[in-house]
Structure 1
Amino acid sequence: MTHLVWFRNDLRVSDHSALTEACKAPGADVKAIFLWTPEQWQQHDYGLARQYSIRSALATVAQDLAQLGIPLTIVHADTWLAGVDQLIDYARSQNVSHLAFHREFGWDEVQRDQYTIEQARAAGIDTWIGEDRVGFDPASLLTGQGDMYRVFTPFKKRWLSQHAETPLPRPLPVPSPVAPALTAIPDIPAVNWTGTAELPLNEHEAHEHLSHFTEAMPNYKDHRDLPAVEGTSRLSAALANGAISLRQCMHSAFSHPRFDSAGVQTWLSELIWREFYHYLLYWRPDLARHEPFYPRWDAFPWNRDDAALQRWQQGQTGVPIVDAGMRQLAQTGWMHNRVRMIVAMYLVKLLKVDWRQGERWFAQQLLDIDFASNNGGWQWCASTGVDAAPYFRIFNPHTQSERFDPKGDYIRRWVPELASVNAAAIHQPSQTLAKHQGYSLPLIDYKRARAETLTLFKKL
């Protein structure tokens, strides 16, 4: 009897329900498989950063599985469907009786998994499918009218009312370790990223990071919006590739001795936001095809200025906080969350560039790219998504900069042209900065751009 575990965006050994399920049967020969599909990832706009993150986590999983006596096979395929065919062929060759994996949401993911179930059934293989990206089956969280939630706060209340702490599943050890199949994992260069060491990408790093963050968690609410301060968990990349689970992070919050503190409660709320975005993707798989949640606002006449988009991508907008964020992204594969909102609002509401252009750029550049969260964040900024900021709410990047980076430390780190500018002047672009520091002139005038955007939205 052979059980096969299919790893996807759940690249860890602890709290892995599919792995635990496969190890339950006494005497079962357990094997693992992963599909390396760069062409499929490219279709989803996932760039080199995503592959680097996956590779980092996968190498650790291979070693940890080997210690459990479970060999990991890496299948190289262009697409998921082609990979599934190879997976089934492998399963037949190994006399696999049971295939275990976790459910994922999204248009292509659903099609892939349906195809897998059909092919496994035809091959006489039973399938076991568990939940991993969310704490609850999205079909079980409904409003009093039996509909999906479209607003976060009621969703959060319902989620908390149903939550109950349960033991996290662990795989059963196997007595004879095997050699890890590391040679089959492609080597992905880290390009010029300087910040990869700051983001845990594999399971061991993630748990060590979580342990350190737990001590600082009560201060999370006060520090999370300050990009110059180490005030966030930095676990987003590990959550995206599954090196750590959402359940494990939530468990650290619920078991915290200062659970009632504002910091712990705020971090828990952010974790539930992450689940909410996956919940929306379950109910609206068309979001994975870049459709707006509320189409009525998507009739906005988006600006097709490629030159402006390129200057935003390169961090050359002439707005210091925006340029700092975009350069941090380019150099590290990561950007502080408060700054993500600022740069996104600037692109969509001031440059008037289609939010899908920003969504695509983030997907290509981020180590922590998670489609559901990325899509949800961009639609929030564009006022096309659930809990959308009203169209008239437009971040002023200069006042945001003054509020969240008051001394300009974050800006100076990523925009070296402004290293000698004092705190009073660093937040406002001007002719002086451009002349004496060699800094870019502003692409737009904030007040004029804001007024134009409001006029266009009102016409809708």
Structure 2
Amino acid sequence: MTQLVWFRNDLRVSDHSALTETCQGHDSEVKAIFLWTPEQWQQHDYGLARQYSIRSALVTLARDLAQLGIPLTILHAKTWMSGVDQLIGFARTHKVSQLAFHREFGWDEVQRDQYAINQTREAGMETWIGEDRVGFDPATLLTRQGEMYRVFTPFKKRWLSQHAETPLAAPLPVPSPTGPEVSELPDIPEVNWPGSAELPLNEHEAHDHLSEFSKTMPDYKTLRDLPATEGTSRLSAALASGAISLRQCMHSAFSHPNVDSAGVQTWLSELIWREFYHYLLYWRPEIARHKPFYPRWDAFPWQQDETALHRWQQGQTGVPIVDAGMRQLVQTGWMHNRVRMIVAMYLVKLLKIDWRQGERWFAQQLLDIDLASNNGGWQWCASTGVDAAPYFRIFNPYTQSERFDPQGSYIRRWVPELASVPAAAIHKPTQQLAQHMGYSQPLVDYKRARAETLAFFKKL
């Protein structure tokens, strides 16, 4: 009897309930499979950075599975649906009795998994489906009226009360070997991403990084908004590919000796935000198809300005903090979260360019692209999503820069034209200074652009 584990966005061997489930039967042979579907990823706007991140995690996963006596097979397919057909063919050939995988919430993912369930049933196989992306089943977290939550703070309170009633179980250990070590590793395609990753991408790197981050976790609330400082966990890419689980990260917070500190509680809140965005995707799957959460705010008259969009993408807007973030994104496949909010609001609230253009560019460039978090973040900034706050959520990029990068260290790293400019002038160079340093002039005047945006929202 053979059991098959289908890996997707859960590329690790520890705290993997589907893997643990299949390894419990000592009389069963266990095999693992992964669908390599670059054309499908491209349909979701996932670029080379995301593929590079997946490959990095897969290389380590294959080695770790081999030590457990579990061979990993890579199946190549254009789409998930055709990949499922290949998977079922593989299962028939190897006389698989059970297919195990974790649930996912995206629109296409739900269709894929339902098709897989139907096909396994027709093939006479059983399916085992576990929960991996969230701590609690979204169907169990409801308001007193039995409705979904649309605002984060009440959701967080409900999540914490659920945790108090039924705490998350401790992360699962690595399963015991099911057989002798596998000598032949799968051929995983190379990915020629031109960037330089500065994030942990595989399971071992992620846990080492989490261990180091736990030392400064109590200071997270103070340090997390400073882009020139190593104040965040930088685990977003590992979380996106599942090289580390959300539960493992939450466990590190709940078990921290300073769990009641503002820093640890703030990081825990950020992890719950990640779950909240997957929660929204579960209840409103249409947002995976570029639909706004609140359609009435999407009646905003978005501007079609290809020149401005291109300058934003390449970090040539003439606003130093914005350009620093956009250049960091292209070169490293990552951007500091505070800066993500600044550049996003600059695009949608000041340039008035459709948030979906920004969502797509981030998806193409990020190592840590996660559909739910990326969409949720962009809709939050565009005021088309939950907790819209259209009249208040317009960041001033210059004051944000002065507040969170006071010495201009972050700007100097990513905008070398301004490296010699003193801190007093680096956040908003004069026209003469920018011209002298070979730096771009601003695309728009902040005050005028802000006033126009507010006027548009009032008309809606």
TM norm. shorter chain > 0.5: yes
Aligned counterpart, 1:186: 189
Q: Which amino acid aligns with 2:13?
A: V
Match of residue 273 from structure 1: 273
Instruction: Name the structure 2 match of 1:459.
Output: 459
Report if the CA contact (8 A) 1:392-1:454 is conserved. no
Specify the SS of the correspondent of 1:425: helix
Q: How does 1:124-273 map to 2 (within 5 A)?
A: 124-163=124-163, 164-170=167-173, 171-183=175-187, 185-191=188-194, 193-194=195-196, 196=197, 198-273=198-273
Work out the CA distance in 1 between the residues paired with 2:193 and 2:403: 33
CA RMSD in angstroms comes to: 0.8
3-state SS in 2 of match to 1:244: coil
SS state at 2:424 partner: coil
Residue by residue, what CA displacement relative to the aligned partner does 1:44-82 show, whole Å, maximum 9, x if unpaired? 000000000000000100000000000000000000000
State the distance in 2 between where 1:299 and 1:333 align. Answer: 31
Aligned to 1:418: 418
Please identify runs of 4+ aligned residues in structure 1 that moved more than 4 A.
none
For 2:160 and 2:150, locate their aligned partners in 1 and report how far apart those are by CA, in whole Å: 16
Take 2:293 and 2:179, find their aligned partners in 1: how far apart are those partners? 50
Letter in 1 for 2:381: C
> Where does the alignment leave 5 or more consecutive residues of structure 2 unmatched?
none
1:10 and 1:433 mapped to 2: Cα distance?
Answer: 49
Displacement of 1:430 after TM fit?
Answer: 2.2
Deviation of the 1:424 alpha carbon: 0.4
1:369 is aligned to 369
Q: Which amino acid aligns with 2:176?
A: L
Check the 8 A contact 2:200/2:209 in 1, yes or no.
yes
Residue 455 (structure 1) shift: 0.8
Structure 2 residue 309 is the aligned partner of structure 1 residue 309: yes
Q: Which residue of 1 aligns with 2:282?
A: 282
With over 3 angstroms needed to count, the CA separation of the structure-2 counterparts of 1:180 and 1:374, relative to structure 1, is farther
Structure 1 stretch displaced more, 307-316 or 153-162:
153-162
> Can you list the C-alpha shifts for 1:212-242, whole angstroms capped at 9, x where unaligned?
0000100000000000000000000000000
Say which SS state the counterpart of residue 63 (structure 1) adopts: helix
Is the 8 Å Cα contact of residues 430 and 442 (structure 1) preserved in structure 2?
Answer: no
Corresponding residue number in structure 1 for 2:397: 397
* CA positional deviation for 1:175: 4.0
Unaligned runs of 5+ in 1: none
Return 156-165 or 255-264, whichever deviates more: 156-165
Identity value in percent = 80
| TM-score, with structure 1 as normaliser | 0.98
Distance 1:277 1:259 in 2: 24
- Once residues 185 and 80 of structure 2 are traced to their aligned partners in structure 1, the CA distance between those partners, rounded to angstroms, is 21
2 CA distance for matches of 1:380 and 1:103? 25
Distance in 1 between the 2:132 and 2:290 partners? 24
- CA–CA separation in structure 1 for the residues paired with 2:389 and 2:64: 44
TM-score (norm 2): 0.98
* 8 A Cα contact 1:62 1:180, kept in partner: no
Give matches, 1:17-56, under 5 Å. Answer: 17-56=17-56
- Per the TM alignment, residue 173 of structure 1 is displaced from its structure 2 partner at its CA by 1.9
Task: State the match for 2:320 in structure 1.
Answer: 320
Q: CA deviation at 1:390?
A: 2.9
